[in-house]
Amino acid sequence: MVGAGQARFGVRVEGLKALFAEAFFACLESVDRGVDPRAIQEAYVGSMSFGGAQIGNLAPLMTEQVGLDHVPTRKVENACASSSYALRDAWFAVRSGLRDLVLVAGVEKMTDLPPPRRGYWLGVSGDTEWERLAGTTFAGLYALMASRHMHEYGTSREALAQVAVKNHGHAVHNPKAHFRRAITVEEVLRAPPLASPLTLYDSCPVSDGATALLLASRERAAEFTDAPVTVLASAAASDFLALHDREEITRVEGTVRAGREAFRQARLEPKDVDLAELHDAFTIGEIIALEDLGFCAKGQGGPWTLEGRTALGGDVAVNTGGGLKAKGHPLGATGAGQVVEAFRQLRGEAEAERQVEGAEVALTHNVGGSGASVAVHLFGV
């Protein structure tokens, strides 16, 4: 990875095209030795086409905004995991030797719909036929997982709340984050209920945003920077879309398998990871991911969080950019956004208050919907 940049996440007046451009040019600026965009050979754009404004041919429409005329491109979609799967596809292209400079991007515009439309689009990534027609929302599905996790392991609402508090605390120092306000456990517990036990503050926001990464072959990396970030591993796995088809809803099998494969590829273990971007669409997601990736034992995600082991200075610094909760969750852009955070942390370029000292290995974990698609990447310097 020789460049990474993002547009500011949040409620933006800009539309898809302007957001995409903002991220792309931020990415270009991050390339130490500069890069001629016309040298980009292939582009992978992650997006859910939320709102339906541009469903077909979104990718070429985006790349032509920034002068990538005639570059072959495609939209990659796996709900909230779109841009990490875009990264994966780009990685395959570069590892195959057939490409040596490719663009990975993500873009999503979510805040420009009236509530009924937004409500519709927020629910399209679950199992419509059986889950949604039971009256569940996206929050409802994660709430069911939380319900079982609390029943089996005694995970407390305070532990869930602490995830949100921690991530907000990090985002205070991230100028690109959606929310930059610190919150307290009390505020989380007292926030309007969404789907018990989750409240509004257990849930990530609806955000606009865009992200862009530049991936080069090992041989060409030096053209662009002395400090490239190596993709140590790319792994992915699927799980049954509907909760009722899964053996256990207290774990995401896709995360377990992708995590195992990623560590195997990189010949690393969880304890080698300095910082991790975990998919906290809902606070319970981060807790379950801690366990599924092997950072802690099953059922220990809550205690780890409460004990500060996932804070800056802890065993592994989780969601140092604010996570989905505070940094924001523009669906298709999120996965690459996690990589932007990893890129900056590993190069020592994050804001001082949230820089992980001596970071050498970073993990990103990106989930589509309630777990049907998962991608895990490891990066190192």
Q: Which residue, 92 or 120, is less far from another protein as judged by CB? A: 120
Q: What angle do CA 42, 48, 50 make, to 5 degrees?
A: 135
Instruction: Check if 70 is active-site.
Output: no
Contact 321, 297 (CB under 8 A): no
Q: Which residue, 99 or 157, is less far from another protein as judged by CB? A: 157
Q: One symbol per residue from 147 to 186: x for binding another protein (CB under 8 A), - otherwise; what is it? A: xx--x-----------------------------------
Q: One symbol per residue from 221 to 260: x for binding another protein (CB under 8 A), - otherwise; what is it? A: ---------------------xxxx---x-----------
Active-site residue, from 27, 80, 204, 296 = 80
Contact 208, 355 (CB under 8 A): no
Q: Which residue, 67 or 119, is less far from another protein as judged by CB? A: 119
Q: Are strands 361-368 and 275-277 parallel, antiparallel or unpaired?
A: parallel
Distance (Å, whole) CA 173 – CA 139: 27
Active-site residue, from 279, 329, 365, 377 = 329
Q: How many residues would you count in the chain?
A: 381
- Interacting residue with another protein among 140, 209, 228, 332 (CB under 8 A): 140
Distance (Å, whole) CA 367 – CA 166: 20
Binding status of residue 13 toward another protein by CB under 8 A: no
245 residue type, one letter: D
Binding status of residue 117 toward another protein by CB under 8 A: yes
Piece in contact with another protein (CB under 8 A), picked from 25-33, 48-56, 113-121, 323-331: 113-121
Q: Among candidates 9, 105, 26, which has minimal Cα distance to 326?
A: 9
**In the numeric block, which tokens belong to residue 214?**
């530049």
Piece in contact with another protein (CB under 8 A), picked from 44-52, 189-197, 267-275, 343-351: 189-197
Instruction: Check if 204 is active-site.
Output: no
Binding status of residue 266 toward another protein by CB under 8 A: no
**Binders in 192-221 for another protein, by CB under 8 A:** 192-198
Distance (Å, whole) CA 134 – CA 206: 23
Number of C-beta neighbours around residue 366 at 10 A: 32
Distance (Å, whole) CA 273 – CA 362: 6
Please list the active-site residues: 80, 329
- Which residues contribute to the site for another protein (CB under 8 A)? 116-117, 119-120, 123-124, 128-137, 139-140, 143-148, 151, 192-198, 242-245, 249
